[in-house]
Chain A
Amino acid sequence: MTDQLVGAAPVAPPADPEAGAKRTARRRRWRLTGLVILGWLALYGVWEYGSWWFGSRLLPTPYEVLLSAVEIVESGNFLTDFSASVLKTFAGFGVAAAVGAPIGYLMGRYNYWRAFFHDGVTIAGTIPAIVYAVMSLIVFGLSNLGPILAVALVSAPYIALNVAEGIRGVDKSLVTMSEAFGRTPQQIRKEVLIPTIVPYVFAAIRMCFAVAWKVEALTEVFGGRNGVGFQIRTEYQLYDIAAVLAWMFLFIVFMLIIERLVLAKSEARLLSWRPQERSSAL
């Protein structure tokens, strides 16, 4: 993208007072791109050196991992197991939302319930994800329900806390306005309450997602019947380290794509009424 911009830019006429600034900005962008490329090259070098040092059985070369990744994608396994993992992650979110949102609503709405849930939810939110992964394995053993439960346990406290925060952020003056115009409680909930908490819920989902898919894969490694984590375990048992790394890298790349593109895009669309988001979209 940077290249295209630079390539497409016409040579600035000398009269343009901003030409100097533009040139400086362009030069800085080039330098940054160069540094990024250098960083990748360094990483590649360290890896190559590492596989020479340890031997490619222990640490396969980047090329071997790439070949393995191509094979995984071509065999069609990746799509099946990747979608299984993504589905389990979102199912976990569903459970987390079904439990966390009502708790958050009570916490935001009533001081009484806030006092009741507050410490429990806070503690639940600080427990390390690995603990939830182990707990889910103990509860469900080898099953698809383990990863779902792990994701739900990790996410629910965040969702509860953010929904509570959202409810407390509701503009009372909009509620009074609605009442003065004779709006019903259902209308007020739909038009005032929900739109206020949506951004908070989205923030919670984005925050959770980054942790959730790692927990999901981890739980699969130990107790999954399908999914990316399950494949990593299988390849590990076959001692195919190249395939283990290939699965890992593919998973990371595609989850980052979901995180950066799908979630960020739908959030921007839902919140398009916000002045700053709108102006950047125009």
Chain B
Amino acid sequence: MAVLTIKNLAKTFNVGTPKASRVLDDISFDVRGGTFVSIVGPSGCGKSTLLNIISGVEEHTSGDISLTSDSGGPARMGYVFQDPRLLPWRSVMKNMMYVQNDRSEETVARARKYLDMVGLAKNADFFPGQLSGGMQQRVGIARAFAVEPDLLLMDEPFSHLDAITARGLRAQLQDIWAQSKKTVVFVTHDVVEAVELSDRIIVLQPGGRIYEDITIDLPRPRRQTDPTVATLQAEVLGRLEAMKTLSRTAAA
């Protein structure tokens, strides 16, 4: 069953002013429950805008979005940002609880479980300023999973980290996702990362249209060293290069 359905979505910033700019144009796709979908595209093509519209932080100009939840109530969303976005004046555990709707024992236990899964159980009482950037980002990931979201949105969560830390966190994300089977929409400009993590890759082109919708049918867990992963990564990268050449000739 589709958790997220998007139909003919368009977004124009500064509508009705001379600065008006269309960022997303006629986007339609749906995301089935329990799948990991990546949105890939060059920087500035509207990926973050799309996530912000899905999360409700940003308004859309036209089209429809619908979300369904398992419980039948309003859909719960989790969001992992490019930067950790933790409250600096609250401990790690208090940050985890800030986004929760209740303070029940069960909820506290769940928050602890996800902190443990990202390897930070011992740091629950630390302030964010006492953690490294990578650790803070792990808190951000644990926080989003711990709300048990119907839909988990991630916006280039590893792009501010060094390559080694990022690789470690990608492996950790794969493990957590395999256990929790959350529905994830993951934004990245990094095709290699997208192939490693996703069931499906939606490629956005400059101008905010869907260029291609690619299914990634590889066994999990996927590791960088696996040659079949590397082959597919090279192939998808090739297709993206073709898109770039195409849009460059179209522009010329």
Interface residue ranges, A against B (CB under 8 Å):
173-174, 176-183, 187, 191-192, 195, 273-275, 278
Contact = CB atoms under 8 A, between A and B. Distances in A.
B79 A177 contact: yes
A278 to B, nearest CB: 7
B76 A182 contact: yes
A182 B90 contact: no
Contact of B90 (A173, A177, A191): A191
Contacts of A173: 81, 83, 85
A278 B127 CA distance: 10
Contacts of A275: 127, 129-130
A181 B89 contact: no
A130 to B, nearest CB: 39
Interface in B69-93: 76-79, 81, 83, 85, 87-90
Contacts of B130: 275, 278
A45 B55 CA distance: 75
Contacts of B99: 178, 181-183
B222 to A, nearest CB: 28
Would you call the interface of chain A mostly helix, strand, loop, or mixed? helix
What band does the interface of chain B fall in when counting residues whose beta carbon is under 8 Å from A?
Answer: 20 to 34
Given A173-B83, A174-B87, A180 B57 contact: yes
Interface string B46-81: 000000000111000000000000000000111101
A192 B87 contact: yes
B77, B81, B88, B89 — most chain A CB neighbours (10 Å):
B89
B147 interface: yes
Contacts of A195: 87, 89
A274 to B, nearest CB: 7
A54 B88 CA distance: 60
A191 B98 contact: yes
Contacts of B90: 191, 273
A174 B56 CA distance: 15
B98 A183 contact: yes
Given A191-B98, A192-B87, A180 B129 contact: no
A181 B127 contact: no
26 contacts: A173-B81, A174-B87, A176-B85, A177-B85, A178-B98, A180-B56, A180-B57, A180-B79, A181-B77, A181-B98, A181-B99, A181-B147, A182-B76, A182-B99, A183-B98, A183-B99, A187-B98, A191-B98, A192-B87, A195-B89, A273-B88, A273-B127, A274-B88, A274-B129, A275-B127, A275-B129
A185 to B, nearest CB: 14
Contacts of A178: 98-99
Contacts of B129: 273-275, 278
